[in-house]
Structure 1
Amino acid sequence: MSVHTVRRGDTLSALAKQYNTTVDKLAKANNIKDVNTIAVGQKLKLPDSFERPSTSGPSKGGGDNFQQAPASSSGRAGPARDDDGRQFPTSADGTPIFKQGDAQWGGRSLGTGSSISAAGCAMTSTAMAMSKITGKVINPGELDAHLDKTGGYAGNGLIWGQAAKMGGLGASKPGWSMDTINKQIDAGRPVVIGVDYKAGSNGGSNGTDHWVAVTRREGNTYFANDPATGKEISLKLQGGKLVGGPSNYKSTGELVTFSGGNPKPGTAPAGGGSTPAPAPAPTKPSGSAVKGLDLPGGDLEKGAKGAAVKQLQTALVKLGHMTQAEMNTGPGVFGPKTEAALKEFQAAHGVPNTGYYGPKTRAAFDKLGADVGGTQGTGGSSGPGPVTGPGNEPGAKGGVSLAQLRKIMPNLSQAKAEQYLPHLNKAMAEAGINTPKRQAAFLAQLAHESGEFRYMEEIASGAAYEGRKDLGNTQPGDGVRFKGRGPIQITGRANYRAAGKALGIDLENNPKRASDPDVGFRTAAWYWNSRNLNQYADSGNFKELTRRINGGYNGLADRQKYYQRALDVLT
């Protein structure tokens, strides 16, 4: 005869349904005279006929019927207890069952908005999986507090690797594979999967509607802890997908697995955790997965679009920080999924997890053998030429005239203006700098950086850049060799290499070519688009545009003077 320990909220009626028996049989087996009175902690003997709980569970809030999973033949594992002494039910394999709407944590803010109750299914599922693998109960409130402190959200999106760190684990997003799922859960290691339930969502606007933690299987039936209902549910394997549960869940192909912790947790002991065994080798792909892969040489951030973003996404997929399914929802679009995956990569490689693709992140990819600054390394959208940039609208205003250029840069001589104008206009056309706002911002920055095209090469020797690894200056003499050149003064071996590859010119071995007008203006346009600066010009955010060129606000007043003059001339 098995025993059930009464938990808060239990009633004889509910327990009778759970264990497929009757209230009278429960009362008789336990000598209970008042069937309305049972105490928390009381041990109830279960009649021999209980064997499996009822398969007709309660309805979800909206009235959708679903099946609650049956327990294994050995009965359900005992309750799990967190550090505060609070007990939680467990699935048959011993994984704690948390409900995202639990009063203890449901109202906590999730990332930048919403709440755990409304949108915390991924985080709650992760807490359940981590608790089983580590042998320590980590409830969603505790995990959310950890993520708040460590930058574990990208908007409201979960950064899986950052979450896993709370339990000393790693996390990866391999491609959908039932073989992978089976190997994990057969070892007692739950996995987290994405599911759809909204009609016609096909992955949802964010790639999936909901997340559940799959914990075990019996033949083609898989059992999962569902954070929406706080129940263990059953899913059937059909055509390579898992389907069933509330509102007819259908797996979307998104899969998260965890490395480290107990290699084979098995069934957790009732009422407590165990000491984790030594961690197995991580399942995340090795860094060699990106060896030789082209990656952009310029900065990228959320909102960027184009071939460079697609390159970055491809690398993140190969390294297991992003799934192919996630990339397919927005190839070449730097959105929340890409930002979360990049933050995870950064955290795993000792880079501040800002979600910004900058010099330190490029250096981390470079260490893995990636070809940083590959041939498609620009921040532009699709279109002819490697410099072509975002928003190159057909019919937009063409280049500037000689008279306009000299009004914007009054100290530029007639001869120099005539010499430079064809190269300037060609570069702007090639880069999609083709509206008055874009042209004004571009010309203002160039005017300041080059002294109205007076200096196409930095006056200083460049010795100050010697040894600057963040600029790619790794060889003796690189500081002088790759000092600032061109009207925007590109600097450092890494920038010369990236610009040269993008433009089809070997600037790394011929750095002085960057000061020639036919090349210099193109490098300026490349630099502009590699940092997606047209979008800041379009929005009129000249101050932020300056920061992204200069790294700060040096000379801002002078730059703004040119900017206003250019706007007056061009509009």
Structure 2
Amino acid sequence: MSTYSVRRGDTLSALAKKFHTSVESLAKTNHIKNPNQIAVGQKLTVPGGSSSKPGHSTADGFDSKPSTSKPSTSASGGTTHGPVRDDDGRKFPVSADGTPMYRQGDSQWGGRTLGRHYSISAAGCAMTSTAMAMSKISGKVINPGELDAYLDKHGGYSGDGLIWGQAAKMAGLGASKPGWSLNTINKQIDAGRPVVIGVDYKAGSGGGNNGTDHWVAITHRKGNTYYANDPATGKEVALKLQGNRLVGGPKNYKSTGELVVFSGGKANPGTAPTGGTGGKDPVVSKPPTASGGSVKGMSLPSGDLEKGASGNGVKQLQAALVKLGHMTQAEMNTGPGTFGPKTEAALKEFQAAHGVPNTGYYGPKTRAAFEKLGAKVGGSTGPGPVTGPSEPGTKGGVSLAQLKKIMPNLSQAKAEQYLPHLNKAMAEAGINTPKRQAAFLAQLAHESGEFRYMEELASGAAYEGRKDLGNTHPGDGVRYKGRGPIQLTGRANYRAAGKALGIDLENNPKRAADPDVGFRTAAWFWNSRNLNSYADSGNFREITRRINGGYNGLASREAYYKRALSVLG
């Protein structure tokens, strides 16, 4: 048997693979009760005693081999600097410019889970390249295992994708995606600041985002030759300038236009990092922000947005993220106005950089962060984020006869009183096609008893103390009970709706029950949940869930919906 000292990033499962044994055997031999808990510096007795050095098959199609700490000849023709050491004393070779060379399939961290599904060995090229670049720029030796542990702890993944800004925080840096520019790359690497770029090498695969199926760290250049640390092999490779692209390497890499740069730090050309993080997360009071432009004066939607949303509000959000450097124009161009994975990842980066929980959900806290930067929330978007097509029918609304057919129990007097306000609100919110109007009217008919109840019959006491509704003050439950045809409820919703509509509903909550305001709050709520898009696709069940939080009264709602569709054609 032999002994082993646990290093940062180690897991019992990874060590079991390394030493040709099992987790159960390691745990039993070392009297470990919880296999998920081992400590840095802990001495383990290893059954069998010898370390294995297998190759690792990675998602990038390479056979990764164990790293060596011996100085080697670099792709740029010279001998690399001497090795650097991490916190555990392990040595790593560096490239000609002094950037550590890590291999994603290294046995120390290759078995760690990256995000939700894949291992670092299989899909950790972006994260490993980032660890190399950050180490050089910050002067701290940060290996991929340490970075992964930090990202797990601080919400650094969006699914399996890396949130660059959150990763950069470990070294007290900022990160941004400024768009492809050789001038930017040259300025960065000439100043001793490696950059991370996406490359494509799988013929016909199309790669991932913008064709990217691998990431490398560009460290320095000589003439038209650029040198990169490749996480697939843990070695330095040469890429030639061809037009506006960098091409070369063992798999004929071709740059895809994705570029990540880092701000902050004190990098110097030709110097290697000298120390680790001391085994602790760095304390960064104000990390550098993404090196993008200003969003001062830009309009952003006042309603909430999340993955799956679409429309002008999403497009406004994407434009702001591009301006700030969290998203490239090329990424936005793959789905302008569509809230997909790229938009979610970019929003999480923005949130992480501005002290907002990086959930990828565009809500009140995120809007407040944009407002601090000078953006105008609700600037020109009306009551919600969706702008619809041209208005069909009678001035974009419904007729008195149509309304009465949809809601047969509605009195003639109330129908005549409410119809102008209803049609004005629908036109304002882009609820202007038969599908949208049918879904909207069906939900209002159920919620308000065919406009019989513009204020909730119950006292509202049941909502007292509901922090999810923003009811944080005594009496908020009663004060902000359900009002209007869609039963707007809770201080937070009253505040948000009032801000969007230019009405102080927080201090005048009963105004939400008046028809001139109530129908507008219903339309605002509708668009704040992006319900026009679900109406367009006929997904009435999802509309119900987003309004109700479940499916209460679904049969009644669907009956109104079926009737409205038949009336409106």
Corresponding residue number in structure 2 for 1:50 = none
Structure 1 segment 200-279 matched on structure 2, within 5 A:
204-205=208-209, 208-264=212-268, 266-268=270-272
The alignment status of 1:359 with 2:364, answered yes or no, reads yes
Quote the Cα distance in structure 1 between the aligned partners of 2:510 and 2:366: 28
Shift of 1:420: 3.8
Quote the Cα distance in structure 1 between the aligned partners of 2:209 and 2:160: 14
Indicate the structure (1 or 2) with the bigger Cα radius of gyration. Answer: 1
Describe the superposition over 1:240-270 as per-residue Cα deviations: whole angstroms up to 9, x where unpaired. 3222223322222221111223243642168
Quote the Cα distance in structure 1 between the aligned partners of 2:306 and 2:401: 30
The alignment status of 1:115 with 2:119, answered yes or no, reads yes
Quote the Cα distance in structure 2 between the aligned partners of 1:312 and 1:355: 12
Q: 1:166 aligns with which of 147, 170, 187?
A: 170
Corresponding residue number in structure 1 for 2:290 = 284
Structure 1 segment 123-522 matched on structure 2, within 5 A:
123-199=127-203, 204-205=208-209, 208-264=212-268, 266-268=270-272, 282=288, 284-285=290-291, 289-376=294-381, 378-380=384-386, 383-384=389-390, 401-402=402-403, 404-406=405-407, 410=409, 412-417=410-415, 419-420=417-418, 424=422, 431=430, 442-443=440-441, 445-447=443-445, 450=448, 452-456=450-454, 486-488=484-486, 492=494, 494-499=496-501, 517=515, 520-521=518-519
Q: 1:566 aligns with which of 557, 560, 568?
A: 560
Shift of 1:122: 1.0
Counterpart code for 1:242: L
Shift of 1:209: 2.3
Counterpart code for 2:369: A
Quote the Cα distance in structure 2 between the aligned partners of 1:335 and 1:372: 21
Equivalent residues of 1:69, 1:234 under 8 A apart:
no
TM-score normalised per structure 2? 0.69
Equivalent residues of 1:482, 1:496 under 8 A apart:
no
Counterpart code for 1:325: A
Describe the superposition over 1:94-150 as per-residue Cα deviations: whole angstroms up to 9, x where unpaired. 212122223333333322323323322111111111122223322222222222222
Shift of 1:562: 4.1
Shift of 1:273: 5.5
- Give the total of aligned pairs: 477
TM-score normalised per structure 1? 0.69
Shift of 1:318: 1.1
Quote the Cα distance in structure 2 between the aligned partners of 1:171 and 1:111: 19
Equivalent residues of 2:193, 2:219 under 8 A apart:
yes
Describe the superposition over 1:427-449 as per-residue Cα deviations: whole angstroms up to 9, x where unpaired. 6687458677x777644643465
Counterpart code for 2:531: L
Equivalent residues of 1:398, 1:434 under 8 A apart:
no
Describe the superposition over 1:265-310 as per-residue Cα deviations: whole angstroms up to 9, x where unpaired. 642168x55999x999947347x71111010111100111121111
Change (3 A) 1:425 1:273: closer
Equivalent residues of 2:295, 2:375 under 8 A apart:
yes
Equivalent residues of 1:80, 1:87 under 8 A apart:
yes
Q: 1:82 aligns with which of 67, 79, 86?
A: 86
Quote the Cα distance in structure 1 between the aligned partners of 2:421 and 2:440: 14
SS where residue 407 of structure 2 aligns? helix
Counterpart code for 1:346: Q
Equivalent residues of 2:136, 2:273 under 8 A apart:
no
Counterpart code for 2:168: A
SS where residue 523 of structure 2 aligns? helix
Structure 1 unaligned residues grouped into runs of 5+: 1-39, 41-58, 389-396, 473-479
SS where residue 168 of structure 1 aligns? coil
Counterpart code for 2:414: K
Quote the Cα distance in structure 2 between the aligned partners of 1:482 and 1:523: 13
Quote the Cα distance in structure 2 between the aligned partners of 1:192 and 1:356: 27
Quote the Cα distance in structure 1 between the aligned partners of 2:130 and 2:449: 56
Equivalent residues of 2:298, 2:375 under 8 A apart:
yes
Structure 2 unaligned residues grouped into runs of 5+: 1-50, 52-59, 65-72, 393-397, 471-477
Quote the Cα distance in structure 2 between the aligned partners of 1:536 and 1:209: 33
Counterpart code for 1:383: P
Quote the Cα distance in structure 1 between the aligned partners of 2:134 and 2:487: 50
Describe the superposition over 1:163-221 as per-residue Cα deviations: whole angstroms up to 9, x where unpaired. 11122221112232223222222222211111222345677445522211011111221
Quote the Cα distance in structure 2 between the aligned partners of 1:527 and 1:344: 27
Counterpart code for 1:318: K
Quote the Cα distance in structure 2 between the aligned partners of 1:481 and 1:117: 56
Corresponding residue number in structure 2 for 1:4 = none
Shift of 1:424: 4.7
Shift of 1:560: 4.5
Shift of 1:160: 0.4
Shift of 1:403: 5.6
SS where residue 246 of structure 2 aligns? strand
Corresponding residue number in structure 2 for 1:20 = none
Shift of 1:326: 1.6
Quote the Cα distance in structure 1 between the aligned partners of 2:154 and 2:98: 29
Equivalent residues of 2:400, 2:416 under 8 A apart:
no
Shift of 1:356: 0.3
Quote the Cα distance in structure 1 between the aligned partners of 2:259 and 2:98: 21
Quote the Cα distance in structure 1 between the aligned partners of 2:138 and 2:271: 12
Equivalent residues of 1:399, 1:428 under 8 A apart:
no
SS where residue 290 of structure 1 aligns? coil
Counterpart code for 2:110: G
Change (3 A) 1:522 1:418: same
Quote the Cα distance in structure 2 between the aligned partners of 1:512 and 1:101: 63
Query: Among the aligned pairs, what percent are the same residue?
Result: 71
Change (3 A) 1:220 1:187: same
Quote the Cα distance in structure 2 between the aligned partners of 1:432 and 1:229: 55
Corresponding residue number in structure 2 for 1:27 = none
Equivalent residues of 1:268, 1:274 under 8 A apart:
no
Shift of 1:344: 1.4
Quote the Cα distance in structure 2 between the aligned partners of 1:400 and 1:187: 73
Equivalent residues of 1:305, 1:381 under 8 A apart:
no
Quote the Cα distance in structure 2 between the aligned partners of 1:120 and 1:521: 51
Change (3 A) 1:319 1:80: same
Quote the Cα distance in structure 1 between the aligned partners of 2:273 and 2:158: 35
SS where residue 289 of structure 1 aligns? coil
Quote the Cα distance in structure 2 between the aligned partners of 1:516 and 1:384: 28
Quote the Cα distance in structure 1 between the aligned partners of 2:194 and 2:400: 60
Quote the Cα distance in structure 2 between the aligned partners of 1:106 and 1:281: 29
